[in-house]
């Protein structure tokens, strides 16, 4: 069945993997990539599909209400996969208003445009991708499920929680077909190096310090980005209207244990003496409102739609390291910007 699908934030980390999967797998679909190309949006992530007949890129911002309205009226999309968002917790602490504008108002602009063009049609779909951080934090036991009450603790998670609520409100108020997924920490190729793994891989490669917040005992579930893209594919095609699906890697790692595993693998791959990378670890002042533990229960997605991760974390980490080491030019182009100065300022506080 032919479909015209708008993917917002498609030049970003997760979005580029989703676009690559859909463009290559569904030749009858027309995939339109809408991205503002902020610091985290990079069309180099999509050079392998940029000339495909079923792919187009449109530069624009979801906070521009008139632009979004005109785009929807012109293109008459059949579905939206909404990934565009400000996503870095540290940045949300220093500039919360930007997160409100993009994550909340941007989402509402998309919902308004979809409602105006879809009217009462029920064969459309607004798929909103969110985060497990909307659930807040966990103690030493328990898992986030789809019915866990929202309890956001950072400006980032508060903005994402708000956008989730608006999507559900549109479904209940205007009968818009919607589906939402909440995912755990993503990792893999093409991730902007403000996030832990690409930052630390690059720092180890260049013998720079590895700044660890607090005691390093913060716990997260980790999801390989290609597995996340596969889950989005399954939910888009098989998910039930108005349902929420949690997507996780079925694993938990404390930050410090993960970093030590990364150091071990990097020493092996770089041919360095065992333990040399671990010496780069430096403990720094904790960030405000740091959630202690996230752990996501993805059994609903497995039980109802048949999805499971294809790799263990150790396997995914090895694939991730190999990609960054083989793509030094990509990393060097990215890190020529100002993100290192940003981090120096953060860790100096």
The answer to whether 129 touches 189, Cβ cutoff 8 Å, is no
| Other residues' Cβ atoms within 10 Å of the Cβ of residue 341 | 9
* Distance from chain centroid for Cα 190: 11
Residue-level pLDDT at 343: 40
For residue 3, what are the β-bridge partners? Answer: 29
Buried b (16+ CB within 10 A) or exposed e, 204-220: bbeeeebbbbeeeebbb
Active site members: 132-133, 156
Residue-level pLDDT at 120: 79
* Every domain range in the chain assigned CATH 3.90.25.10: 196-219+253-289+311-340
Q: Show the tokens assigned to 52.
A: 């495909």
Domain 3-184+222-247, CATH? 3.40.50.720
Residue-level pLDDT at 189: 95
Residue-level pLDDT at 138: 87
Q: Which stretches within the chain are classed as H helix?
A: 13-25, 65-75, 89-94, 96-99, 106-118, 155-174, 196-205, 225-238, 255-270, 299-305, 313-326, 328-334, 339-348
Distance, in Å, from the CA atom of 286 to the CA atom of 303, rounded to the nearest integer, reads 38
Domain 196-219+253-289+311-340 has CATH 3.90.25.10: yes
* Every domain range in the chain assigned CATH 3.40.50.720: 3-184+222-247
What is the mean pLDDT, run by run of 10 residues, along the chain of 349 residues? 94 97 98 93 93 97 98 98 91 93 98 95 94 90 94 95 98 97 95 89 94 87 96 98 96 94 97 96 80 88 97 96 92 65 41
């Amino acid at each position: 069945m032919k479909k015209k699908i708008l993917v917002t934030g498609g030049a970003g980390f997760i979005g580029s993997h989703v676009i690559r999967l859909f463009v290559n797998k569904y030749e009858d679909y027309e995939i339109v990539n809408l991205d503002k190309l902020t610091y985290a949006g990079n069309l180099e992530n999509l050079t392998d599909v940029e000339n495909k007949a079923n792919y187009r890129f449109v530069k624009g911002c979801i906070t521009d209400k008139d632009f979004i309205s005109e785009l929807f009226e012109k293109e008459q999309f059949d579905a939206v996969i909404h990934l565009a968002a400000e996503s870095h917790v540290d940045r949300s602490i220093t500039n919360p208003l930007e997160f409100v504008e993009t994550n909340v108002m941007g989402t509402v602009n998309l919902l308004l445009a979809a409602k105006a063009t879809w009217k009462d049609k029920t064969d459309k779909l607004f798929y909103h991708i969110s985060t497990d951080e909307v659930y807040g934090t966990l103690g030493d036991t328990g898992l986030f499920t789809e019915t866990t009450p929202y309890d956001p603790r950072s400006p980032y998670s508060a903005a994402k929680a708000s956008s989730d609520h608006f999507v559900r409100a549109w479904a209940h108020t205007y009968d818009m077909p919607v589906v939402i997924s909440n995912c755990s920490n993503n990792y893999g190729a093409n991730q902007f190096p403000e996030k832990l793994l690409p930052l630390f891989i690059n720092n180890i490669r260049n013998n720079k310090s590895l700044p660890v917040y607090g005691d390093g005992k913060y716990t997260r579930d980790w999801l390989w980005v290609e597995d996340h893209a596969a889950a989005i594919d399954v939910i888009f095609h098989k998910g039930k209207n108005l349902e929420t699906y949690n997507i996780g890697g079925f694993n938990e790692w404390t930050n410090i244990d993960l970093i030590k595993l990364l150091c071990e693998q990097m020493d092996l791959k770089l041919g360095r003496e065992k333990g040399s990378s671990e010496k780069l670890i430096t403990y720094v002042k904790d960030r405000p409102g740091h959630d202690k533990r996230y752990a996501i229960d993805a059994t609903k997605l497995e039980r109802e739609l048949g999805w499971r991760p294809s790799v263990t974390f150790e396997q995914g980490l090895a694939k991730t390291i190999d990609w960054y080491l083989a793509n030094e030019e990509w990393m060097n182009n990215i890190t020529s910007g100002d993100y290192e100065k940003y981090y120096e300022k953060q860790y100096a506080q």
